[in-house]
Structure 1
Amino acid sequence: MNIQHKSSLLLVLILAFAISSGATAQTEPGTFTAKKGVYLEVGGSSGFYAINYSKIFHQKGKLKLNASAGFSIWPNRNIDSKTSWLPALPLEISALYGKSNHHLELGMGFTSYLNTSFDFDSETFETINKVVFDAFIPLRVGYRYQKPEGGFFFRFGYTPIVTFPVRAGKIWSFNPYWAGLSFGKSF
């Protein structure tokens, strides 16, 4: 386990406990009138970064259900490739639980993206660079600060990633060292 990953995970957990311990209890859960939002996410379900649109589609008491979709362009790090930017589309469903401004957020998503793959032609001894479809499943456990009447909101969370085999030669994998931070506006 890399010391940098341990430090990042520890920092996220400390921030989550610090913010949640300062939350004040209220007697009535706030009904959200600002159900839509636009935000920038760094890390998290987007992989690197994404611009997202979200909407609270159900609320009852302290429970709110939220769906979001985003878009990102990832740089292709291969110098020989003709494609320099590759798109990614993060989708996520999450449940917000809490009163008024402070919420526990639990969620799951699906992020599809294009990636490059190298094949080797055994007859010509040349490498073939292809653009291929890939995807992963991000999970989320985090904190979300959002006012019921709208305005600035932010969230952060622990977002481990499950990569699944989309094409031949790929295997299931689990990356437990991932987190995300989002800033935006609800309206």
Structure 2
Amino acid sequence: MSFKLNSAIIGTLVLALAFSFDCSAQTEVEKFTARNSVYLEIGGNAGQYAFNYGGLIYQKRAFKVIGSVGFSLWAEPIEGPTIWNPAIPLEVSTLFGAKKHHLEFGVGITPFLQAGVNSSWESGNLVQSKGASHLGAILPIRVGYRYQKPEGGFFFRVGYTPFFAMPNKTREDWAFQSVFAGLGLGVSF
């Protein structure tokens, strides 16, 4: 199962990169006039989903730097009322492309609050530990493709987004999740 999932992600990434390299022969560089974007990303640097705002920080010819911040709530599957844990994905991405097709590289940090959960021996269910919430963070990396017109409008991005989970109260060592991807859809203006 893991091999099939790895093959599917690698195949998708290769196709996205091949498409973006085919489009890199764009000769005329267009300056981005649409400097802001709002989008929903499934997977990606937030883990599950996030509503994001992005803004153009720098551009020179075919090179652009974009910063983004988002918000997500992760549901904690425990007995009783559902606990919603907030996450705030932050990312800096570089885009390489002359017009609307871009190769995208990015790094970020996603801090999140996580409720402490213990197993209940009587019921076999998960229950929340009182006062046991803790702060955690993941460090995502992005390699992908981004379609965004310089003048604005609809855009999407797809990327391979592995991440490092930082040590916290529940885990003493760094953990690396190599199989992860994201798909973002939104509008730039």
TM-score by length of 2: 0.86
* Alpha-carbon contact 2:79-2:128 (below 8 Å) kept: no
Matched, 1:176 2:178: yes
Matches within 5 A, 1:1-187: 2-17=2-17, 19-20=19-20, 23=23, 25-80=25-80, 84-118=83-117, 129=129, 130-167=132-169, 169-187=171-189
* CA distance 1:155–1:169, shift in 2 (3 Å): closer
> In 1, distance between residues paired with 2:60 and 2:21?
24
1:173, CA displacement in angstroms? Answer: 0.9
- Write the letter of the residue equivalent to 2:188: S
> In 1, distance between residues paired with 2:17 and 2:97?
15
Equivalent position of 2:122 in the other structure: none
Equivalent position of 1:123 in the other structure: none
* CA distance 1:112–1:8, shift in 2 (3 Å): farther
1:19, CA displacement in angstroms? Answer: 3.0
* Alpha-carbon contact 2:115-2:128 (below 8 Å) kept: no
* Alpha-carbon contact 2:45-2:108 (below 8 Å) kept: yes
Other structure's SS at 2:12 match? helix
> In 2, distance between residues paired with 1:169 and 1:13?
31
TM-score by length of 1: 0.87
* CA distance 1:128–1:74, shift in 2 (3 Å): closer
Structure 1: gaps of 5 or more residues: 121-126
Other structure's SS at 1:148 match? coil
Q: Deviations over 1:33-80 (max 9, x none)?
A: 001000000001011000000001100111100000000111111225
> In 2, distance between residues paired with 1:41 and 1:17?
19
1:118, CA displacement in angstroms? Answer: 4.2
> In 2, distance between residues paired with 1:128 and 1:40?
30
Q: CA RMSD in A?
A: 2.1
Q: Deviations over 1:149-180 (max 9, x none)?
A: 00000000000010111347421011110000
* Alpha-carbon contact 2:16-2:144 (below 8 Å) kept: yes
- Write the letter of the residue equivalent to 1:2: S
